[in-house]
A and B are shown apart, each in its own frame.
Chain A
Amino acid sequence: MTLRRRNKQPLPAFGPGVQVQAAQLPGKALLWLVAAFTLLLVPQWDRLPVWLLGICVALMGWRWLARLGRVRLPERWWRTGLVVVLGGVYLATVNSQLTVDTAASFFALCVALKWLETRSARDFYVLFFILLYMAAVNFCFIRPYTGPCLILPR
């Protein structure tokens, strides 16, 4: 966690009205975020729907390719379209159930969509914060150890 946080350091602090463009962000920052997202997806591979996993990997790959200069980040209408379509698919699959499971998949979808809107340092902050909360939600699936924690000698 601290590693990823320390990695935020090179992001130049943005002064009032000065938006730091993503192009100026160091490449390592994006690499760390991609690694973190992958790490957070791994324990959820059997819980998340397959299409969502695919979307996550695809959008993350898109951002990475944009970083390398192979493709361009989508325009505003493209992004809106993607949000509407994927949001619709998500709502259809959760079927108005509200469980920890659906919450976890919702955060995965959020991060996946946020990849496409990472232009300024501010976007990276938002992405990072969602990732943090996703990490917290991941802990909900760990079955707590309910046995005696500490046997005190009498």
Chain B
Amino acid sequence: MTMKKPTIDGFWQRWANRRLPRSDRQTFSQKNLFILPTGAGVTFGALLLVMLITGINYQNSLIYMLTFVLGGVFVGAIHQTHRNLAGLTLALSRAGEAIAGDTVPFSLRLTAGKDDAIAVQVSSGGSLPVWVSVPAGQSRDVSVLLWAPSRGYVRPDRIRIETRYPFGLLKVWSWLRPVSAGLAFAKPIAAPELSATAEDGESEAVASVQAGSDSADLRPWREGDYSQRVLWKRFARTGQLVVADWQGQSGNPQWLDFQTFIGVNSEMRLCYLAFLVGDHQRLNARYGLSLPGQLIEPDSGAAHALRCQRALAVWGLEKPCDPLPWRFGNRLKPTSADPESLDVASNGSPQ
């Protein structure tokens, strides 16, 4: 992780984070909006200064007038740009799921306050910015795509919202620091052939543990038995109609076990298992998933596959959470559970 050295950047980050507590929903106001001139704005300011000097030098009232009018426009632009984002609410409506190495979509909803929010740019980290304009009182949905390099929880530290709308001379920006995390599934990698034989042995092992649940009982044919279940070979040999009675409706559930792939590191094992889950889902087979510390009972269907993939995605990982949500403003009445108050109590006691 980062070093705890006090830097200007770190100080600024902490200062900004105090104003923007982690939340899936953020309404922007003057407390958490930041505004600075852009490069063009700084150049414009320098130009105004040069024009002012020119006016002073030639004692030309018309140049003064032009300069001051433009200065007024600049000051007006500060308010206009700020008002563009003030009152806007940015909410994370859904943190998406995708396979690792792909982009995870984060659905966001922008709801404008009593003013229009025009040419707003939403982005996060290296993602491509999304442009949206929200008329007053309405809302728009956008989707920010985040690249997930590896499996696990995907939570952007910050989703940035920015606008330079009226003139491009100023930019106003802020962040949403979401609580919810998206998910990146383990990337499926074709499991080696070894898995086929290993799995057989493995399923026997499980069978023995489960007290012969997979052993087929042979019994005489009864009325109502499916003809597919009759062992016709045996019938041809002996003339007896014998039926194999399997446990369960669709045969022996296969167990996909983490311990199958001996000598492979755990990330690779998860990739193999993700592949096998996808494979079994395609064949509509019944299967269970056994991970160290987690057992998913055999089932089939899309919901089961999704459950297994989610389990594989987050195995061994902890859900990201912040140790202490700092509250903005020191005039709030501190509660006993508030770590800030403890801090103050220990530091602020007079000697």
**A-to-B contact residues, CB < 8 Å:** 1-2, 5, 8-9, 11-15, 18, 100, 121-122, 125, 129, 132-133, 135-137, 139-140, 142, 144
Contact = CB atoms under 8 A, between A and B. Distances in A.
15 contacts: A8-B167, A9-B165, A12-B131, A13-B165, A13-B168, A13-B171, A14-B168, A18-B129, A122-B40, A133-B50, A136-B55, A136-B63, A136-B66, A140-B63, A144-B59
Interface residues of B, number: 33
Contacts of A140: 54, 58, 60, 63
B121 A139 contact: no
Interface string B103-142: 0000000000000000101010000010100000000000
Interface string B42-84: 0110010011001100111111001101100100000000000
B166 A136 contact: no
B70 A13 contact: no
A144 B121 CA distance: 48
Contacts of B40: 122, 125
Interface of B: 38, 40, 43-44, 47, 50-51, 54-55, 58-63, 66-67, 69-70, 73, 119, 121, 123, 129, 131, 162-168, 171
B168 A11 contact: yes
Contacts of A132: 47, 51, 66, 70
Nearest to A132: B47
A100 B58 CA distance: 10
Given A12-B119, A132-B47, A139-B63, 7 more contacts: A2-B73, A5-B73, A13-B119, A13-B165, A122-B40, A129-B43, A140-B63
Most interface-central of B38, B123, B167 (chain A CB within 10 A): B167
